[in-house]
Homo-oligomer: A and B are copies of this chain.
Amino acid sequence: MGKLKAFITMSIDGYVAGPGQSEENPLGVGGEHLHDWLIPLKAFNEAHGREGGEVTASSPVVEAWFENVGAEIMGRNMFGGGPGPWGDDPWTGWWGDDPPYHNPVFVLTHHEREPLEMEGGTTFYFVTEGIESAVGQAREAAGDRDISIAGGAQAIQQYLAAGLIDELEISISPLLLGGGERLLDNLGDAEIGLEQAGVVEGVGVTHISYGVVKD
């Protein structure tokens, strides 16, 4: 059975988005700098169908995000289109006609919607039955391959609190955002044990991977 993994960039003060998130500014004030280390990379460009870019110590880290992944899970906020029902002309994601997932993507939502097939192998499935249903459907789609939680913070928090994540990789950006959306928050009384599994020093970023200890 494949693993459930999450990869995310966090500021050193704990945020995955700055204050004042909005549709025009989904990462909040200053939050776009979280990914300053990522955007120039060749591995990132290639995932988005573009050529060129840099190769750094972070390149193998980013390449590993896409290796052996058979399905993705995503929160509604990350998929976007505002809260509430989908409406008559529904939002189709931030990523254009050919999203960088190339896999089935299971979107956690309270609002039913038919599957949305995009180009390049990405189909968005909208799951209203909760996080365990989403991971079950993702496992079926992924077969022996892994499942990646694409984000955002709330989806990662819910899966972490439920003890369902196997590997959590946090890329720590040297930013002080001072407010916004925290990653490791809202975990309730869950006792979650982490083991440091590996560290990579990038240029302006530190990647730490953690295994989640299972009882």
Contact = CB atoms under 8 A, between A and B. Distances in A.
Interface of A: 12-14, 170, 172, 174-176, 178, 184-185, 187, 192, 194-196, 198-199, 201, 204-206, 208, 210
Given A199-B199, A199-B201, A201-B199, A12 B208 contact: yes
Contacts of A174: 194-196, 210
A13 B184 contact: yes
User: How many identical chains are in the complex?
Assistant: 2
A196 B204 contact: yes
A34 to B, nearest CB: 13
Contact of A12 (B184, B185, B201, B205): B184
B14 A172 contact: no
10 contacts: A12-B184, A12-B208, A174-B194, A174-B195, A176-B184, A176-B187, A176-B194, A178-B187, A196-B205, A206-B206
A210 B11 CA distance: 13
A172 to B, nearest CB: 7
